[in-house]
């Protein structure tokens, strides 16, 4: 053909033949993984339209919803992460990619509010400048599955202020800079300790398309009180998690499905000895927690094993290339 | 519960139980149709992630791709329509919603370039001001399936200029106003005739995320030369279609799957008699076409019948409410 086109002849496409033909033209793709992703995406998308007999008005409403999600997004707001969160996709993708051996700390959703500009803070620093917050001393350790402390782990920590807003949700954040977030490093004993405020439950941003969707679904937009953590050290599986305060009214109805029993914690109060040891005030809230990290290798092996097992169960003949499935015969 | 929440307890969600739990919490939705759409959407989305073992990096790349699609969109550019077009979804949704009885004119994709500000034009008007285009006289009729002319049909017509761009793709369109588009009305004999330019093949906008995706898939971004038509009259099924010029190098590889054999036309040349009758120049291109429209009722009945049949074949127990499927027992 004069256009140099080598795909299938695309003519007279119908409800019944559009899917194989779209997959055939996409099969020109040289990247086996992308080809597989696209073929599953197109098949699911088309099956969805066929099963629901999707109307033209619904299709247009969906496309306009997606435009609105893109347009409300910015450097500090990612409406599609939020959408993925409330649809349970974020939790699912995290579970697939970071399976945890029984002895280790479970993961939770990243959410859309992590930033890369948090200040580095030494042990004992205060991550919050909010005078309205209830002071909370946090004393944590990072260990491996054998109970040995791990030093030199970079830990990103972030939470809302006492009004339930992350710094990036406030006007003028460019001038004031980051608040209620910091980056720490575990010491020789695997310890990191800092001063924060007691987390509060808060609504996820609901002034945009995702909030409107939750409303139409009759769902509330609240997350139970929690403190975010991200652990990073070469050789260890990056752990994205959060600790949730027991007894929160949204403990079992988190809008983004993040809560796990093992991540629910009880707060204590700072006693005299602790106050003196950590330069804190007696009677302030106290959070003590031990995080258990696994190696990248352990996680990768477990993820690969789980993938092979799950794909076999689905009856798919796949092989793993760079730890990601592609069709066996292709 | 103190939050007034009546859904399922959402705790310890995993790869295996996230889907039913997301569907349970969404089942609070009072709108049966939206509830059904969401449950199929969530199931497909999650199945996609499970079948592909979607990696965190792929998930993030996809979410960023969606943000980029939203952000390049504007009043005159809808990147998600374009995405839907190149994934075959637009063609599929049109086929589901506008099934055509054998005797009638088939539909084609709307595309992202229809606007609502085209000038109304009487018979004989010129829709193009492009001096570089090859003049083409178009003489068309609108009939019903019994061959009777239909008067008073509003017809939207649009095409690119000779460089393969729609007016909205040019800078300064706010000042210059619409070009290569018009709205006409069929006369007592069902006739509408106008002066256009011979359509040229052109690339769909490929400077955005959709263009990059096509590139990664090894697909070209071309559409064969065509002229868009939209027919609208109360009581008749709205017909969105296009006529394609035979012999175009992209005739069988349209990037958006729009071509149908019955919509491929041969151009003629204006002869002396035609030139005098339509105040055109002898030797210019001539397009003659008869469009056959069906009633809204006919289309609706056919769509309902097709829906019931297809859903039965899929083994789904559904009923139609306002012509849209919802589960029978709910």
- Does B84 map to a domain? no
Place of tokens 């076999």: A312
Element (H, E) at B286: strand B285-293
Element (H, E) at B96: helix B89-97
Instruction: Specify the pLDDT at position A176.
Output: 85
Q: Do A34 and B217 touch (CB under 8 A)?
A: yes
Instruction: Specify the pLDDT at position B255.
Output: 96
Instruction: Summarize pLDDT for A71-82 with one digit per residue, the tens.
Output: 999 988 899 999
Q: Do A88 and B3 touch (CB under 8 A)?
A: no
- Does A288 map to a domain? yes
Q: Which residues are within 8 A (CB) of B175 and not within 5 positions of it... i.e. 6 or more apart?
A: none
Residues A118 and A32 in one domain: no
- Tell me the shortest Cα–Cα distance from B177 to chain A, in angstroms: 25
> Judged by CB atoms within 8 Å, which residues 105-164 of A form the interface with B?
none
Instruction: Summarize pLDDT for A89-131 with one digit per residue, the tens.
Output: 999 999 999 999 988 999 999 988 899 999 999 999 999 989 9
On chain B, the residues whose CB falls within 8 A of the CB of A48 are: 40-41, 44
Beta strands in A238-278 (DSSP E): 239-245, 264-265, 268-269
> Judged by CB atoms within 8 Å, which residues 203-232 of A form the interface with B?
216-220, 222
**Residue B299 at interface with chain A, using a CB cutoff of 8 Å:** no
Alpha helices in chain A (DSSP H): 18-26, 32-52, 56-72, 79-86, 89-97, 173-176, 209-216, 272-277, 296-313
Which 8-state DSSP code applies to residue A169?
G
Instruction: Specify the pLDDT at position A4.
Output: 58
Q: Do A44 and B40 touch (CB under 8 A)?
A: no
**Residue A67 at interface with chain B, using a CB cutoff of 8 Å:** yes
- Does B290 map to a domain? yes
Instruction: Summarize pLDDT for A265-282 with one digit per residue, the tens.
Output: 999 999 999 999 999 999
Residue A39, CA atoms < 13 Å, CB-side half-sphere: 20
Q: Do B249 and A59 touch (CB under 8 A)?
A: no
Instruction: Summarize pLDDT for B238-274 with one digit per residue, the tens.
Output: 999 999 999 999 999 999 999 999 999 999 999 999 9
pLDDT at B27 over 70: yes
Alpha-carbon torsion angle B53, B54, B57, B59, nearest 10 = -160
| CA atoms of B329 and A204, how far apart (whole Å) | 33
The minimal CB distance from A218 to the residues B14, B28, B54 is found for: B28
pLDDT at A3 over 60: no
| CA atoms of A4 and A6, how far apart (whole Å) | 6
On chain A, the residues whose CB falls within 8 A of the CB of B45 are: 44, 87, 89
pLDDT band at residue A1 using 50, 70 and 90 as cut-offs: very low
Residues B261 and B175 in one domain: yes
User: pLDDT exceeding 70 applies to what percent of chain B?
Assistant: 98
- Does B243 map to a domain? yes
- Mean model confidence pLDDT for chain B: 94
Report whether A192 contacts A186 (CB < 8 A): yes
- Does A94 map to a domain? no
Range(s) of the domain holding residue A37? 7-54
Q: Tell me which of A300-304, B83-87, B229-233, B326-330 is least confident.
A: B326-330
Instruction: Summarize pLDDT for B177-218 with one digit per residue, the tens.
Output: 899 999 999 999 999 999 999 999 999 999 999 999 999 999
Residues A152 and A25 in one domain: no
Residues A165 and A39 in one domain: no
pLDDT at A172 over 90: no
Instruction: Specify the pLDDT at position B171.
Output: 87
Q: What are the structure tokens assigned to B164, written together?
A: 């393969």
Residues B260 and B149 in one domain: yes
Instruction: Specify the pLDDT at position A2.
Output: 43
pLDDT at A328 over 50: yes
Instruction: Specify the pLDDT at position A121.
Output: 96
Q: Do A217 and B12 touch (CB under 8 A)?
A: no
pLDDT band at residue B1 using 50, 70 and 90 as cut-offs: very low
Q: Do B67 and A78 touch (CB under 8 A)?
A: yes
Q: Do A11 and B218 touch (CB under 8 A)?
A: no
Q: Do B67 and A73 touch (CB under 8 A)?
A: yes
Residues A109 and A175 in one domain: yes
On chain B, the residues whose CB falls within 8 A of the CB of A200 are: none
On chain A, the residues whose CB falls within 8 A of the CB of B257 are: 10, 13, 18, 21-22
On chain B, the residues whose CB falls within 8 A of the CB of A88 are: 13, 18-19, 21-22, 42, 46
Residues A120 and A250 in one domain: yes
- Tell me the shortest Cα–Cα distance from A77 to chain B, in angstroms: 10
**Residue A94 at interface with chain B, using a CB cutoff of 8 Å:** yes
Instruction: Specify the pLDDT at position B175.
Output: 86
| CA atoms of B64 and B299, how far apart (whole Å) | 39
| CA atoms of A249 and A237, how far apart (whole Å) | 32
CATH code, domain with A119:
2.60.130.10
Instruction: Summarize pLDDT for B154-186 with one digit per residue, the tens.
Output: 999 999 999 999 998 888 888 888 999 999 999
Residues B266 and B156 in one domain: yes
Instruction: Specify the pLDDT at position B172.
Output: 85
Domains held by chain A: number: 2
**Residue A30 at interface with chain B, using a CB cutoff of 8 Å:** yes
Instruction: Specify the pLDDT at position B4.
Output: 58
**What distances in angstroms separate CA B271 from CA A154, B138, B274, one per listed residue?**
81, 13, 5
Listed residue (B229, B94, B260) closest to B159, CA to CA: B229
- Tell me the shortest Cα–Cα distance from A47 to chain B, in angstroms: 8
Mean pLDDT in residue range B73-100? 94
Instruction: Specify the pLDDT at position B5.
Output: 65
Angle between helices A32-52 and B32-52 (to 10 degrees): 160
Residues A262 and A178 in one domain: yes
Instruction: Specify the pLDDT at position B2.
Output: 43
Residues A37 and A115 in one domain: no
Residues A39 and A188 in one domain: no
Does B33 or B6 have the greater pLDDT score? B33
* pTM of the entire predicted model: 0.93
- Does B320 map to a domain? no
- Does B27 map to a domain? yes
Beta bridge mates, B268:
B286
Instruction: Summarize pLDDT for A9-62 with one digit per residue, the tens.
Output: 889 999 999 999 999 999 999 999 999 999 999 999 999 999 999 999 999 999
Residues B25 and B167 in one domain: no
- Mean model confidence pLDDT for chain A: 94
Residue A95, CA atoms < 13 Å, CB-side half-sphere: 21
Instruction: Summarize pLDDT for A231-259 with one digit per residue, the tens.
Output: 999 999 999 999 999 999 999 999 999 99
pLDDT at B286 over 70: yes
- Does B75 map to a domain? no
pLDDT band at residue B7 using 50, 70 and 90 as cut-offs: confident
Place of tokens 């349209």: B254
Instruction: Summarize pLDDT for A173-212 with one digit per residue, the tens.
Output: 888 889 999 999 999 999 999 999 999 999 999 999 999 9
The 3-class secondary structure across B171-227, one letter per residue, is CCHHHHCCCCEEEEECCCCCEEEEEEECCCCEECCCCCHHHHHHHHCCCCCEECCEE
On chain A, the residues whose CB falls within 8 A of the CB of B51 are: 40, 311, 314, 316
Instruction: Summarize pLDDT for B88-98 with one digit per residue, the tens.
Output: 999 999 999 99
Pairing of strands A285-293, A154-158: unpaired
Which residue on chain A is closest to B254 by alpha carbon? Answer: A10
| CA atoms of A14 and A137, how far apart (whole Å) | 64
ipTM value greater than 0.85: yes
């Amino acid at each position: 053909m004069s256009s140099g086109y080598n795909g299938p002849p695309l003519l007279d496409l119908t409800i019944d033949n559009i899917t194989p033909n779209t997959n055939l033209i996409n099969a020109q793709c040289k990247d086996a993984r992308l080809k597989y992703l696209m073929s599953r995406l197109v098949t699911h998308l088309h099956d969805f339209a066929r099963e629901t007999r999707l109307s033209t008005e619904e299709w247009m409403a969906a496309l306009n919803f997606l435009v609105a999600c893109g347009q409300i997004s910015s450097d500090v707001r990612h409406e599609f992460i939020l959408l993925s969160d409330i649809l349970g996709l974020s939790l699912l993708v995290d579970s697939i990619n970071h399976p945890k051996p029984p002895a280790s700390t479970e993961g939770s959703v990243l959410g859309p509010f992590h930033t890369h500009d948090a200040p580095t803070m030494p042990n004992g620093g205060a991550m919050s400048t909010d005078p309205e917050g209830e002071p909370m001393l946090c004393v944590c350790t990072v260990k491996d599955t054998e109970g040995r402390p791990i030093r030199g782990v970079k830990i990103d920590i972030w939470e809302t202020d006492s009004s339930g807003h992350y710094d990036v949700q406030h006007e003028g954040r460019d001038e004031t800079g980051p608040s209620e977030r910091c980056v720490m490093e575990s010491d020789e004993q695997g310890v990191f300790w800092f001063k924060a405020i007691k987390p509060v439950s808060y609504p996820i941003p609901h002034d945009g398309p995702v909030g409107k969707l939750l409303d139409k679904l009759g769902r509330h937009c609240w997350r139970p009180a929690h403190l975010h953590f991200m652990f990073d050290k070469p050789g260890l599986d990056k752990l994205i998690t959060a600790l949730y305060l027991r007894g929160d009214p949204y403990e079992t109805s988190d809008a983004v499905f993040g809560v796990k029993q093992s991540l629910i914690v009880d707060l204590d109060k700072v006693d005299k000895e602790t106050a003196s040891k950590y330069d804190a005030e007696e009677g302030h809230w106290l959070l003590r927690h031990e995080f258990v990290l696994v190696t990248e290798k352990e996680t990768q092996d477990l993820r690969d094993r789980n993938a092979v097992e799950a794909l076999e169960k689905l009856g798919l003949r796949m092989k793993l290339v760079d730890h990601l499935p592609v069709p066996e015969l292709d």
